[in-house]
Amino acid sequence: MQFNSLEFMIFFLIIALIYYCFPKKLQPMILLVANIIFYLFSGVANTAIMLGVTIITFLSALLLEKTLQSGNHKRSKGILVATCLVILGLLFYFKYWNFAISILNKIVIGIGHQAIELDEILLPLGISFYILQSLGYLFDVYYKNSKAEKNIVHYMGFLTFFPIVLSGPIERSGNLLTQLKTVKRFDILSAKEGLLRFVYGLFLKLVIADRLAITVNMVFGTPEIYSGIELIIVSMMYAIQIYCDFSGYSHMAIGIAKILGVELRENFRAPYLATSVSDFWKRWHISLTSWFRDYLYIPLGGNRKGKFRKYLFVMIVFLVSGLWHGATFSFIAWGGLNGGLMILEELLGPVWNRICERLKINRECFGYRFFARLKTFLLISMCWVFFRIDGIKPAIRILYQGVSNLQLSKLFGYIFVGFGISVKDVILLVLSIGILFFVDYKKEQGLNLIALLNQQGICFRWLIYLSLVFGVLIYGIYGTVYEQTSFIYFQF
């Protein structure tokens, strides 16, 4: 069941009515039942796996806390390691088993033996997300940042919370679990803000991301027939597509939770207004990057063990992040490329600082920041090619063709004629992306647009509400041409 479906909207309306109309003490149980029903749409076996992970980590955290209180740190460490091995073992089997076997087959075939047969393994939806959330909870208990939850209903509600279980944000127990244990009363302002966030997320997904997907899928399906400038433009279009697709989901998840009285952490902060690659990764998929920072980078040593080890740890984190996204070498290359760019930026930083001082360049002026943002956007778009294309060699060929066969004249011709979208769609995309960057720019300036909208007169407010709703209905997937599509990050 997807957020951009009529079935989900009916489901959520029923759940919200039951949640607020029934006695408040039943809210945790109602929410848990809703979580399980929602996830059951992905399959009974997948639900059993998720509930198994939930029970294992719940019991392990209780045992972990008990051994920590007794002072038996060796045993508590053993419990943590054993539980992590079990949980990560599940993830390895479902997500990486065939990848490992395919690598082994290359070795086996190379030495003249018969290849090992690959199993048909279906990846449970959201497994990468709820496993990281459960591991984060265990680490918090181990490091005494949080107490182990004694109420299994509350804990199961935390790990299976339906707005985030499929694609995040990856929550911490200190935020989400604490909120789920308090009574919620319906608040009209929170509900209105949540609905606005949900509809804006639909706008990003249906009007921008799904429309861009038409061109991206067409061009990247047969990249050899397109010129370099076309491939560069489509790479940038994919960068915007994946942002609108994923941030659209996050907006909807945050909006749904807000209607239920729960505040989720923000997952994006205007990432394409970043002025460097490192700045980008402070703004993109914040819940994941902060998870890797807190539970991998800092435990490895962070920046406390010298420059060389710091760069090594950065590269490890990004390679693991790439592997987390998918069991292919192109995802690993994507992670390594981002990590390498971050390291290169830091190495060249002192040199660039001296150049700016000598030339008296004002790095706070509009022109400098504009070109810094453009440079970052182009670099990130280049990295996204490895994320989108299956295989390192095909991705490299696209990048090489992009710079070796530019044909800049097509910029001034009818470049979009062969892109599968009409002139009307191009105009709509330009206007919609303009709205996206306007909202992000105002957010970057610290302006709360929803609060500002609430201060306006009722006629103006409803004009905005109706424009947004009808814009999604008319120009989204519910129009005459488009079909419902899943979210990109569901595959992870």
Rounded to whole angstroms, the Cα distance separating 391 from 178 reads 43
**Cα pseudo-dihedral 210, 212, 213, 214, rounded to 10:** 100
> One of 154, 251, 285, 325 is an active-site residue; which one?
325
* Planar angle of CA 189, 191, 195, nearest 5 degrees: 120
> How many Cβ atoms sit within 10 Å of the Cβ of residue 446?
6
C-alpha distances out from residue 387 to 293, 330, 342, 392, Å: 21, 7, 17, 10
Nearest residue to 322 via CA among 236, 383, 235, 395:
383
Rounded to whole angstroms, the Cα distance separating 111 from 84 reads 35
Rounded to whole angstroms, the Cα distance separating 445 from 224 reads 42
Nearest residue to 491 via CA among 235, 220, 128, 162:
128
Note whether 309 and 301 are within 8 A (CB). yes
Residue 325 annotated among the catalytic residues of the structure: yes
Nearest residue to 203 via CA among 439, 442, 12:
439
HSE of 116, CA atoms in CB hemisphere, 13 A: 15
Note whether 477 and 195 are within 8 A (CB). no
> How many Cβ atoms sit within 10 Å of the Cβ of residue 430?
9
Side chain identity, residue 69: Q
Nearest residue to 61 via CA among 136, 130, 132:
136
The dihedral through the CA atoms of 15, 21, 24, 26 has a sign that is: negative
Lookup: tokens for 5: 């479906």
> How many Cβ atoms sit within 10 Å of the Cβ of residue 310?
18
Question: What positions carry a catalytic annotation?
Answer: 325
